[in-house]
């Protein structure tokens, strides 16, 4: 069995194949992954995150010694059971939490800085937007914060709303939107400004089957355009169809990484599910 | 402030102000004793009563402030009284009889007595502040509508009636209004020593209707003497003494010296150091006193 | 800082402020002003019909107090909810995922609250002046100085409320902000009264607390306006402008320091 060769600058990573053999990742790349020789789209090294409730309460460690790397153009599924630390890791990528230790870089820039954030499109786990604004006003707001403006912003906003299926609802206040419609708007806002790295937390949450299919098609388009995507999801079918690689975490650290080979992709979600359950069981 | 706003709305909505802002008061609007009792037994009315009492007190303070162009005054602290270290506030510093506010000072201190430096300077600029030594008062009649509002909001606010009629009566043209206002106070507070005394003063001093005044002065004296002196407040005690004084002066001016002598002697039994009654007896005390026969009201 | 980065900052702050105002307007927050306007105008019209001889000072006093009270309450309520609502509604995530700093968010929200409460002040002032004009009363040129100082105080109040909202719960923020804003005069008077008999230590503590706490009562010319005093000197306005700016900047910086490393 052959595996695509991956390139991780400045470090050597190891992944496992289907049979559990360790593989050293060496320079190279598949067709869809850019091999620019530049810094990785996302680099997390020895990340520790802990939360404190009150001054004297002991810290609760949710992420421990977590390292991973995502190359430009790669689509990586970030998997793990509930409470594994996925959302906390994603929050660290956006600078929403301050790590206790370790570092997070986005295209070589420290996470949380404006330059790092300018390269990210982010969809939060529970996407909520100002209920009294319309979708177009919402996108204009985020566009302005991104540094966009003028007619090109309006054009892009209308185009994105069409792409996520909100055409005709541009001037309807969000308080009348269903959860699924809000999620579509969230996807639109995350794509605003054509980000280099798309970070999606529970991307298909709240979407109906048609919405999910649209989303998959949309993400595939984005992937084909060369955008790096790093997303967490419990929808393994989605992961199987979109990802180049999956990173599995449990109890705050990476327990395994897997390249989505032809076998896994062909078997769709059931093979991935098997892998997910078995790996977690072994890790436990 | 909110209460004051509510007041404005109430006044506007009720259209009551139409008659009230003018000093012209031509009818009585007092409650009967039964109505008052019923009113006071209802919880909501009791709450409303508290509100109107607070409102009348607020308006009373406002009236005082208007007289001083908004300058805030306060009483002296014990330390300030002892050390005499406070900015003086007086109306006639050279005339001890006319002098007022002797135990007051400005809330905002003068520059010499202020430790706050530049912030104190700024406060003296942004709030109404001036040297209150030898200050004058604003036009008292300008505050009349406030007295009208005070007694309208709280018909038992006796001080409002007492000061209000005096302000009205400063203009002889409005003496009738003043009388009507005070009579309204009497109707609302039939047991008030102060109001009976003031009615006696009104008829004695302003209208020179000596015989008409006497029943009110007698009534004031009788109301006071029917009570335990320890239960009389300061205003009531003063009104009791003044009722004696004015009764003596009334009888003197009416030429009824025997009755005046009796009243003066009776006054001195209650108030042995009273200067008015002592002075009267020095001048007119050489005849026989008369037995008191309180006249009926006209 | 280059012209481009300044332009970008201004765009960010303007957008955040505009969104806050737009949302507030659509939430009908200013309806209270409209209701108030109706009541005041109705009251004024009725009073005007019957005459207000002798009540001029009282009406001016009440009108200015109403303007003060409602504009301060609106400012506190607007400002105190800006950041906590972002956090509870989770709208803060897509906002801070954009290339803006946390200070940008704080400043944009402060700006929105300040502009919104200024709008409220203008509305209340227009209603008040209109109601008084119906009665044939005017407030004189000192009224413009009064308005200017109220705007300055609103900036200070909004910054203080935003800062407090990052340090305590929303209800505690509103309570404390109202106490500081409305109780400022009482606090000053109490300190002045208590200072004389106090011990040296007590005096020292009083001095410190007097100079540290913001004196919002200094921004209130309503009594001078109501009682017909002359306009104040320009140096007072200048010094109060500097005073308000200093406190506003300090409050916003404290808020930014608190929020800078806060987990969201």
DSSP-derived letter for residue B22 is S
What's the confidence (pLDDT) of residue B16? 41
What's the confidence (pLDDT) of residue B31? 54
Q: Where are the beta strands (DSSP E) in B103-244?
A: 104-106
Of A82-91, A192-201, B128-137, B159-168, minimum mean pLDDT range = B128-137
pLDDT, tens digit, for every residue of A174-204? 989 888 888 889 989 999 988 999 999 887 7
pLDDT bucket at C206, cuts 50 / 70 / 90: very high
Using an 8 Å CB-CB cutoff, list chain C residues near A174: none
Distance from CA of C36 to the nearest CA of A (A): 24
Whether residue A47 contacts residue A93, with contact meaning beta carbons closer than 8 Å, is answered with no
Whether residue A98 and residue C261 make contact (CB cut-off 8 A), yes or no, is: yes
Q: Is the pTM of this model over 0.95?
A: no
Using an 8 Å CB-CB cutoff, list chain C residues near B22: 51, 53
What's the confidence (pLDDT) of residue A156? 93
**Cα distances (Å, whole numbers) of residue A268 to A32, A254, A265, B74:** 20, 23, 5, 85
What's the confidence (pLDDT) of residue A276? 80
Tell me which chains share at least 3 CB pairs under 8 Å with chain B: C
Per-residue pLDDT for B295 more than 80?
no
Per-residue pLDDT for B8 more than 70?
no
pLDDT bucket at B41, cuts 50 / 70 / 90: low
What's the confidence (pLDDT) of residue B28? 40
Q: Which residue has the higher pLDDT, B43 or B5?
A: B43
Q: Give the mean model confidence (pLDDT) for residues C117-125.
A: 91
pLDDT, tens digit, for every residue of B103-119? 788 888 888 888 999 99
Of A2-6, A50-54, A188-192, C239-243, minimum mean pLDDT range = A2-6
Per-residue pLDDT for A91 more than 80?
yes
Instruction: Please give the backbone phi and psi of residue B106, each rounded to the nearest 5 degrees, phi first.
Output: -80, 145
Per-residue pLDDT for A38 more than 50?
yes
Of C44, C55, C240, the CB nearest to B122: C240
ipTM of the shown complex: 0.88
Q: Where are the beta strands (DSSP E) in A6-41?
A: 14-16, 22-24
How many CB atoms neighbour CB B90 within 10 A? 17
Contacts of B222 (CB under 8 A, 6+ apart): B294
C 48-67 residues with CB below 8 A of B? 49-55, 57-59, 61-62, 65-66
Of C91, C100, C263, the CB nearest to A96: C263
Using an 8 Å CB-CB cutoff, list chain C residues near B108: 192
- Using CA atoms, how far apart are residues C142 and C226, in angstroms rounded to an integer? 10
Per-residue pLDDT for A1 more than 80?
no
Whether residue C223 contacts residue C77, with contact meaning beta carbons closer than 8 Å, is answered with no
What's the confidence (pLDDT) of residue C240? 96
What's the confidence (pLDDT) of residue A5? 37
Of A51, A114, A189, the CB nearest to C100: A114
pLDDT, tens digit, for every residue of B62-78? 888 887 888 888 888 88
Q: How many contacts (CB atoms, under 8 Å) link A and C?
A: 83
In sequence order, the β-bridge partners of residue B75 are: B104
What's the confidence (pLDDT) of residue A28? 36
């Amino acid at each position: 069995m052959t595996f695509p060769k991956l390139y991780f600058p400045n470090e050597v990573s190891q992944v496992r194949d289907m049979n559990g053999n360790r593989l050293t990742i060496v320079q190279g790349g598949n067709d869809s992954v850019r091999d620019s020789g530049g810094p990785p789209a996302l680099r997390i090294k020895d990340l520790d995150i802990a939360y404190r409730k009150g001054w004297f309460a002991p810290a609760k460690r949710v992420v421990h010694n977590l390292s991973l790397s995502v190359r430009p153009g790669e689509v990586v599924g970030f998997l793990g059971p509930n409470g594994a630390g996925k959302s906390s890791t994603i929050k660290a990528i956006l600078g929403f939490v301050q790590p206790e230790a370790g570092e997070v870089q986005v295209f070589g820039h420290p996470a949380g800085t404006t330059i790092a954030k300018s390269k990210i499109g982010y969809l939060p786990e529970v996407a909520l937007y100002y209920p009294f604004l319309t979708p177009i006003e919402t996108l204009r707001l985020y566009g302005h914060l991104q540094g966009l403006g003028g007619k090109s912003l309006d054009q892009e906003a209308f185009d994105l709303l069409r792409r996520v299926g909100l055409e005709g609802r541009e001037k309807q206040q969000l308080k009348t939107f269903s959860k699924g419609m809000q999620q579509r708007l969230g996807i639109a806002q995350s794509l605003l400004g054509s980000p280099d790295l798309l970070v999606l937390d529970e991307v298909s949450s709240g979407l109906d089957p048609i919405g999910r299919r649209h989303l998959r098609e949309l993400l595939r388009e984005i992937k084909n355009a060369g955008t790096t995507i790093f997303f967490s999801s419990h929808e393994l079918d989605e992961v199987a169809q979109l990802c180049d690689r999956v990173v599995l975490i449990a109890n705050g650290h990476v327990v395994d990484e897997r390249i989505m080979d032809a076998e896994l992709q062909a078997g769709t979600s059931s093979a991935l599910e098997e892998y997910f359950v078995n790996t977690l069981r072994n890790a436990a | 402030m909110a209460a004051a706003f509510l007041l404005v709305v109430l006044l506007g909505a009720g259209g009551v102000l139409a008659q009230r802002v003018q000093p012209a008061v031509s009818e009585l609007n007092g409650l009967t004793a039964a109505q008052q009792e019923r009113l006071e037994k209802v919880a909501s009315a009791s709450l409303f009563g508290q509100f109107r009492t607070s409102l009348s007190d607020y308006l009373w303070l406002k009236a005082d402030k208007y007289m001083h162009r908004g300058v805030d005054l306060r009483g002296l602290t014990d330390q300030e009284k002892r050390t005499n270290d406070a900015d003086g506030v007086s109306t006639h510093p050279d005339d001890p009889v006319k002098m007022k506010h002797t135990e007051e000072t400005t809330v905002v201190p003068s520059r010499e007595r202020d430790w706050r430096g530049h912030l104190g300077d700024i406060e003296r600029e942004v709030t109404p502040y001036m040297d209150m030594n030898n200050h004058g008062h604003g036009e008292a009649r300008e505050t009349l509508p406030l007295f009208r509002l005070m007694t309208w909001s709280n018909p038992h606010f006796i001080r409002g009636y007492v000061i209000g009629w005096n302000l009205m009566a400063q203009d002889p043209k409005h003496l009738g209004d003043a009388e009507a206002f005070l009579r309204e106070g009497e109707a609302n507070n039939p047991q008030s020593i102060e109001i009976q005394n003031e009615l006696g003063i009104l008829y004695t001093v302003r209208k020179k209707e000596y015989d008409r005044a006497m029943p009110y002065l007698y009534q004031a004296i009788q109301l006071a003497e029917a009570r335990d002196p320890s239960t009389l407040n300061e205003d009531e005690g003063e009104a009791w003494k003044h009722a004696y004084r004015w009764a003596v002066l009334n009888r003197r001016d009416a030429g009824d010296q025997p009755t005046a002598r009796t009243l003066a002697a009776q006054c001195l039994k209650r108030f042995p150091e009273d200067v008015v009654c002592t002075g009267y007896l020095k001048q007119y005390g050489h005849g026989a006193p008369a037995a008191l026969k309180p006249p009926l009201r006209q | 800082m280059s012209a481009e980065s300044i332009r970008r900052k201004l765009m960010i702050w303007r957008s955040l402020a505009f969104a806050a105002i737009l949302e507030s307007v659509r939430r009908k927050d200013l309806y209270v002003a409209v209701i108030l306007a109706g009541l005041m105008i109705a009251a004024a019209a009725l009073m005007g019909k019957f005459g207000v001889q002798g009540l001029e000072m009282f009406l001016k006093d009440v009108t200015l107090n109403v303007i003060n009270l409602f504009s301060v309450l609106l400012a506190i309520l607007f400002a105190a909810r800006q950041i906590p609502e972002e956090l509870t509604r989770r709208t803060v995530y897509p906002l801070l995922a954009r290339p803006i700093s946390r200070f940008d968010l704080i400043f944009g929200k402060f700006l929105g609250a300040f502009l919104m409460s200024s709008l409220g002040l203008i509305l209340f002032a227009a209603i008040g002046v209109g109601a008084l004009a119906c009665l044939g009363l005017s407030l004189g040129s000192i009224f413009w100085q009064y308005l200017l100082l109220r705007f300055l105080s609103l900036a200070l109040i909004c910054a203080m409320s935003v800062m407090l909202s990052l340090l305590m719960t929303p209800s505690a923020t509103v309570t404390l902000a109202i106490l500081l804003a409305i109780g400022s005069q009482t606090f000053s008077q109490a300190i002045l009264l208590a200072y004389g008999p106090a011990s040296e230590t007590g005096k020292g503590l009083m001095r410190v607390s007097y100079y540290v706490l913001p004196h919002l009562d200094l921004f209130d010319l309503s009594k001078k306006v109501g009682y017909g005093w002359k306009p104040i000197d320009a140096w007072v306005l200048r010094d109060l402008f500097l005073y308000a700016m200093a406190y506003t900047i300090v409050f916003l910086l404290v808020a930014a320091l608190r929020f800078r490393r806060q987990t969201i």
